[in-house]
Amino acid sequence: MDYTKTQQQLSLVRRVVFKELLEGYMPLPVDRAACARWAKDLPRSGETIIYTSYMYQLGSVFKSYAKLLERFSGVRFASRFASLGGLVVKPKKDELERAALILGNIVSLLRRSYPQLAYLYEDEPYSGALLLELGFLDEFQAYGKKVFGFLRERGVRRVITVDPHTTNALLRLKNLLSDDLDVVNYLQLVHPANGGGRFVMHDSCLYSRYLGIGSEIRGILRDSGVSLVEDRMVTAQDTSTCCGAPLESVSEELSERIARARAAKLASVCEDVLVACPLCYQNLSPYVQSVHDIAEVVS
Amino acid sequence: MSDEWGVALERTIQNNTPRLDRILTDYPFIPNHAEKLRQVKLDVLDHLDDYVRATCESVERSGGTPHLAKDRDEAQGIVREICGNDGIVLFSKTNVALELGLRESLAADGHEVWETDLGEFLIQLARDHPSHIVQPALHLTKEMAGRLLHDKLDASITENSSYEELVACVRAFLFRKYVAAKVGITGANAVAADTGSVVLVENEGNIRMDTVVPSIHVAVTGIDKIVPTLDDAFLEAQVQSAYAGLYPPTYINVTSGPSSTADIESKKVTPATGPKEFHLVLVDNGRRKAQEDPQLKDALLCIRCGRCYFSCPVYWALGSEWVPPPYGGPMGAMWSAIVNDDTRPATLCTHSGGCKVVCPIKIDIPRVLEHVKWLNSKK
């Protein structure tokens, strides 16, 4: 394995992402208002918030983060490059529309229990998950203190996350900072609803093997009328594997190789794949016939 | 990696996973053994100096010679001195010996050096690297092994030869080497501090030959393989073989000093039929430093069952290209940082998490690799 390129890429991502986060709470300049447009009738402040961390709105951008940096920099891995300058990334229209459906559905699932659910709209900061997952723990904690401080200033006491990467990042941050902010994922709060279809479930690694809620999620799906096809060698907790998305910022080629392999395994069980993570959706989509998010099949 | 790698790996996983499922069903006490093993190994790491001292004293009591090597150079020097200037030296797939470059250093001294584990023997013939810690030739299909043996050992073997013919060909070759060998070098699945015994698990019978037929037996292993008692060493042998999918193991070998007899008036005499010398070389090579790092320390609990390899999509994609040999897979990404100070492989961890789920010793491998990634970011 030639680690020269991966080390250079990591170095570039580290410099740029940390600087951008400290300056603007986002890993890259983006039209945040467009990302927040999905929500119309949620209060802008409250003790309990839904926290998207832009994962559904910008999944394709996060997936190609390193490639974007490379393109914006103009100079491949130039050592002096450390800023995105005045560039602004435009979210994709179809991705925003899909995110609006998913996030709107999640809100409707939560509203029964949380009628006062709030949303920070374009003020919402990114979680810092990218820093954690690439092992930049010093930067992750430094930025995390800023995020938690911001949330406290806004009177937030309970954060309801909607994706595994943000959930894992905030829980890790709580652990590292010994903070008592209440962090919970929406799938741990919702009750069985209306659903349908027959799928093979591609578990999120973080939900299944880190947070240990894979069985809970299956329970909600089954009780909602969704049929899941299981295979001991493909979908069990100890045999299912990552889609490769977290490696996009380190090695796009390796990430795609892992995605193709995982997609082939899933397709051997069922052509219709169900995911619970916007990055899994992004990484598997090119290689499977159909892929849906949980919040697209349960409402 | 090649298409043949994908085929070989898929076949291995399809064979191995159901076999382990059956083992854990048929022998339900194994997970409890693993939990107990974790506890005793943690105790050793918390009192490492005491256990190293006790192990050396026990080896001396049993008539063997203990050695401590702080790094690769010291270990090579000790083993070269024991082996002398010529003669046949046999190895029994010891990953620590690969870590230390012992085979190459002895060959450079003029020794005729042979691996005796079938998989490692094939790797040696092919001048290749091991692709798995328990099954080093995992990446070779039967057809590839047949072509290799045809080219290097026996022209009558072909890619169409049967599995049995391939094994018999190597067996016949190695038997000629066993009877002429001067030194047998093994690793250790566990070393008992209370008796100085080395416990080794195997199925082929090559370790039994390596440890009995040559006149000198050298066991080279890391200080992380020490457990408090011989009872604990058997525990490790059982847990390691079970999670490697090979339970019960065909052989568990115990060596406590050189061969001896007390058949005449109960007077203990050394040597008897087996080796006249037994040496235990305990190697540090980064392990003490890891033991002092609270996040890295857990990696030292690894029992080398190789289970984590099969659960890892990065290993599936890259095979032995991921981590420089001898260690590979998720455990290798940790151990590369310990023995080679190479933190780069950890950066390819995609935190799939299967390694954590399948590890019998409950090492939180992703958390260790998160720490190694952080170490990498500090360089």
* pLDDT the model gives residue B226: 98
> What is the C-alpha to C-alpha distance for residues B219 and B91, in angstroms, rounded to an integer?
10
Q: Please indicate, yes or no, if residue B237 is contained in any of the structural domains.
A: yes
As a whole-number percent, the residues of chain B with pLDDT over 70 amount to 99
Helix (H) or strand (E) holding A196: none
Q: B221 exposed, middle or buried (CB, 10 Å; 0-12, 13-18, 19+)?
A: buried
A195: helix, strand or coil: strand
Same domain, B256 and B305: no
Average pLDDT over chain B, rounded to an integer: 96
Taking CB atoms and an 8 Å cutoff, what residues of chain A touch B25?
Answer: none
* pLDDT the model gives residue A286: 96
**Type of residue numbered B169:** C
Please answer yes or no on whether A205 and B347 come within 8 Å at the CB atom: no
Same domain, B250 and B194: yes
Q: A193 exposed, middle or buried (CB, 10 Å; 0-12, 13-18, 19+)?
A: middle
Q: Which of B262, B285, B308 is the C-terminal boundary of a domain?
A: B285
- State in Å, rounded, how far the first CA of chain B is from the last one: 29
> What is the C-alpha to C-alpha distance for residues A26 and B351, in angstroms, rounded to an integer?
23
Q: How far is B16 from chain A (nearest CA, A)?
A: 11
Is pLDDT above 50 for A80? Answer: no
Please answer yes or no on whether A3 and B318 come within 8 Å at the CB atom: no
Residue B350: closest CA among A160, A256, A201, A242: A242
Same domain, B255 and B312: no
Q: Which of B347, B356, B373 comes nearest A209 by C-beta?
A: B356
A72 — pLDDT class (breaks 50, 70, 90): low
Chain A residue with minimum CA distance to B6 = A261
Q: What is the dihedral of CA B241, B244, B247, B251, to 10 degrees?
A: -50
Q: In this predicted model, what pLDDT tens digit does every residue of A170-212 receive, in sequence order?
A: 999 999 999 999 999 999 999 888 999 999 999 999 999 999 9
> What is the C-alpha to C-alpha distance for residues A187 and A252, in angstroms, rounded to an integer?
30
Is pLDDT above 80 for B182? Answer: yes
A76 — pLDDT class (breaks 50, 70, 90): very low
As a whole-number percent, the residues of chain B with pLDDT over 90 amount to 95
* pLDDT the model gives residue A75: 42
Q: In this predicted model, what pLDDT tens digit does every residue of B124-154 receive, in sequence order?
A: 999 999 999 999 999 998 999 999 999 999 9
* pLDDT the model gives residue B50: 98
Same domain, B280 and B339: no
β partners of residue B191: B198, B226
β partners of residue A184: A160
Tokens of B78: 């000790």
Question: Domain range spanning residue B345?
Answer: 289-377
Segment B192-216 shows an average pLDDT of 97
H helices within B27-94, ranges in order?
30-46, 48-61, 72-83
* pLDDT the model gives residue A86: 60
* pLDDT the model gives residue B95: 94
A89: helix, strand or coil: strand
Q: Is the pTM of the predicted complex or chain greater than 0.90?
A: yes
**Which residues contact residue B174 at a Cβ distance below 8 angstroms, ignoring those fewer than 6 apart?**
B114, B116, B121, B206, B209
DSSP B159-210: TTS-HHHHHHHHHHHHHHHHHHEEEEEE--SEEETTT--EEEEESSSHHHHH
Same domain, B58 and B147: yes
Same domain, B221 and B257: yes
Same domain, B247 and B299: no
Segment B294-298 shows an average pLDDT of 97
Tokens of A67: 């490639």
Q: Please indicate, yes or no, if residue B352 is contained in any of the structural domains.
A: yes
Please answer yes or no on whether B317 and A261 come within 8 Å at the CB atom: yes
Same domain, B120 and B60: yes
Pairing of strands B190-192, B198-202: antiparallel
- State in Å, rounded, how far the first CA of chain A is from the last one: 45
Whether ipTM exceeds 0.90: yes
* pLDDT the model gives residue A78: 40
Q: In this predicted model, what pLDDT tens digit does every residue of B57-95 receive, in sequence order?
A: 999 999 999 999 999 999 999 999 999 989 999 999 899
Q: Please, are residues A127 and A147 in contact by the beta-carbon 8 Å criterion? A: yes
**Which residues contact residue B142 at a Cβ distance below 8 angstroms, ignoring those fewer than 6 apart?**
B159, B163, B166
> What is the C-alpha to C-alpha distance for residues B210 and A182, in angstroms, rounded to an integer?
60
CATH number of the domain that residue B170 is part of? 3.40.50.10420
Q: In which order are the strands placed within the sheet that holds B65-69?
A: B65-69, B277-283, B216-222, B181-186, B88-91, B112-115
Taking each helix axis from N to C end, the angle separating B230-243 and B3-26, rounded to the nearest 10 degrees, works out to 130
Same domain, B205 and B218: yes
Taking CB atoms and an 8 Å cutoff, what residues of chain A touch B352?
Answer: 205, 209, 241-242
Please answer yes or no on whether A135 and B372 come within 8 Å at the CB atom: yes
Taking CB atoms and an 8 Å cutoff, what residues of chain B touch A3?
Answer: 344-345, 347
Is pLDDT above 80 for B3? Answer: no
B63: helix, strand or coil: coil
Q: In this predicted model, what pLDDT tens digit does every residue of A15-50 receive, in sequence order?
A: 889 999 999 999 988 899 999 999 989 999 999 999
Same domain, B305 and B281: no
DSSP B141-160: -HHHHHHHHHHHT-TT--TT
Residue B8: closest CA among B151, B169, B143, B117: B143
Asked if the peptide bond before residue A115 counts as cis, ω within 30 degrees of 0, the response is no
Q: Please, are residues B363 and B298 in contact by the beta-carbon 8 Å criterion? A: yes
Q: In this predicted model, what pLDDT tens digit does every residue of A108-152 receive, in sequence order?
A: 999 889 999 999 999 999 999 999 999 999 999 999 999 999 999
Average pLDDT over chain A, rounded to an integer: 92
B1 — pLDDT class (breaks 50, 70, 90): low
Chain A contact present for B370, CB below 8 A: yes
* pLDDT the model gives residue A73: 58
Q: In this predicted model, what pLDDT tens digit does every residue of B207-232 receive, in sequence order?
A: 999 999 999 999 999 999 999 999 99
Q: How far is A114 from chain B (nearest CA, A)?
A: 32
**Type of residue numbered A34:** A
β partners of residue A66: none
* pLDDT the model gives residue A29: 85
Q: Please indicate, yes or no, if residue B5 is contained in any of the structural domains.
A: no
Segment A236-257 shows an average pLDDT of 95
Please answer yes or no on whether A135 and B350 come within 8 Å at the CB atom: no
Q: Which of A6, A135, A232 comes nearest B374 by C-beta?
A: A135
Same domain, B58 and B179: yes
**Which residues contact residue A279 at a Cβ distance below 8 angstroms, ignoring those fewer than 6 apart?**
A55, A59, A62, A63, A163, A165, A243, A245, A246
Q: Please indicate, yes or no, if residue B2 is contained in any of the structural domains.
A: no
Q: Please indicate, yes or no, if residue B1 is contained in any of the structural domains.
A: no
Number of domains present in the structure of chain B: 2
Q: Which of B250, B285, B320 is the C-terminal boundary of a domain?
A: B285
Same domain, B28 and B122: yes
Chain B contact present for A230, CB below 8 A: no
Q: Please indicate, yes or no, if residue B51 is contained in any of the structural domains.
A: yes
